[in-house]
């Protein structure tokens, strides 16, 4: 009996020692294959795959839309032109990914795409999970109403109890409306064309949209107009930026993106893109 106890004790000790050796070896192996601080940066990952993926929403002319004059689903617009300039600077291919804006934000946050655009605006909430570039277009939020109701809805106060104001889901227009049109009921839909349809069908009294975007709809819809009301909060300003998820280090990538933006603004390319793609979007809509 005594012999069995001693043997059992020795076996247990030997097993514990073996496990300790294996654990140490395992730790050493993990450390050598993934040392602290070796996480691949966004720029390194892009260079390695030879491609940069950019998420946009193609129902957002002139920023992003489908050129119906070309075969297949050819995405075009201001953001596509900017993406191509970024790809050229990096020496990699550009892959555009189309999705609605809510899915776009999720793709950026998860690192599924390298960059996100489509009228993206920096906010404190988004800054928790995203890095931002410098602005490439300066705009603001306005309200589109039916032309017949232009006088009726010409002030912030006119959107009172019983009125309905449309906003795009996940957009920064939502807090603007909450702050400046608190009595109006919000109607939140996925895309701007959906809001336009609601307005035309008299289901809402107006909708909030980027002023650059608004011009497209005015040219192709003579029965709507921009309300004379003016938002006063700083949140109503739209400094359009490029975003990237914080799961990777974006320092070097954003440095290059900002260089491209500065070059495009200084050279007049950005204004040229706005003009070019605004005209193409109108032509598209009339086809």
- For residues 142 and 217, is the Cβ–Cβ distance under 8 A? no
Q: Give the start-to-end residue ranges of the domains of the chain.
A: 42-136+241-286, 138-238
Say which residue the tokens 């654990």 belong to.
23
Q: Which CATH architecture has domain 138-238?
A: 3-Layer(aba) Sandwich (3.40)
- Residue 216 is predicted with a pLDDT of 85
Q: Which residues pair with 186 in a beta bridge?
A: 165
Please count the CA atoms within 13 angstroms of the CA of 186 that sit on its side-chain side: 18
- pLDDT tens digits for 2-26? 444 444 444 444 444 444 443 443 4
- pLDDT tens digits for 101-127? 999 999 999 999 999 999 899 999 999
Q: Which CATH number fits domain 42-136+241-286: 3.40.190.10, 3.40.920.10, 3.30.300.30, 3.40.50.300?
A: 3.40.190.10
Whole-model pTM: value is: 0.80
CA dihedral 257, 111, 35, 33 (to 10 degrees): -120
Rounded to an integer, what distance in angstroms lies between the CA atom of residue 198 and that of residue 188? Answer: 11
- Residue 40 is predicted with a pLDDT of 92
Q: H/E element holding 278?
A: helix 269-286
- For residues 164 and 185, is the Cβ–Cβ distance under 8 A? yes
Q: What region, left, alpha or beta, does residue 254 occupy, with left being phi > 0 and alpha being psi -120 to 50 degrees?
A: alpha
Structure tokens at 256: 């290059």
CA dihedral 161, 163, 168, 174 (to 10 degrees): -20
How far, in Å, are 13, 114, 217, 240, 258 from residue 42 at the CA level? 48, 7, 37, 21, 15
Asked whether this chain's domains 42-136+241-286 and 138-238 adopt the same fold, the reply is yes
- Residue 41 is predicted with a pLDDT of 96
Average pLDDT for 69-77: 92
């Amino acid at each position: 009996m005594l012999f069995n106890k001693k043997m059992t004790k020795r076996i247990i000790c030997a097993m514990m020692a073996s496990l300790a050796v294996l654990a140490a070896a395992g730790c050493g192996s993990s450390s050598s294959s993934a040392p602290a601080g070796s996480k691949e940066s966004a720029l390194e990952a892009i260079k390695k795959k030879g491609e940069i993926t950019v998420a946009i929403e193609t129902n957002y002319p002139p920023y992003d839309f489908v050129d119906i004059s070309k075969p297949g689903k050819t995405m075009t617009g201001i953001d596509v032109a900017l993406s191509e300039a970024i790809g050229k600077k990096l020496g990699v291919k550009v892959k555009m990914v189309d999705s609605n804006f809510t899915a776009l934000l999720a793709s950026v946050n998860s690192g599924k795409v390298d960059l996100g655009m489509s009228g993206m605006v920096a906010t404190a909430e988004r800054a928790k999970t995203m890095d931002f570039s410098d602005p490439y277009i300066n705009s603001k939020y306005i309200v589109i109403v039916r032309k017949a109701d232009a006088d009726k809805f010409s002030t912030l106060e006119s959107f009172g109890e019983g009125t309905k104001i449309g906003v795009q889901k996940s957009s920064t227009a939502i807090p603007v409306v909450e702050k400046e049109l608190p009595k109006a009921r919000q109607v939140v839909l996925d895309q701007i064309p959906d809001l336009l349809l609601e307005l035309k069908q008299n289901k809402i009294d107006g909708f909030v949209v980027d002023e650059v975007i608004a011009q497209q709809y005015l040219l192709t819809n003579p029965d709507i107009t921009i309300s004379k009301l003016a938002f006063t909060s700083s949140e109503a300003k739209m400094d359009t930026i490029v975003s990237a998820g914080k799961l990777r280090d974006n320092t070097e990538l954003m440095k290059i993106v900002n260089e491209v933006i500065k070059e495009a603004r200084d050279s007049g390319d950005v204004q040229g893109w706005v003009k070019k793609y605004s005209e193409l979007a109108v032509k598209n809509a009339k086809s």
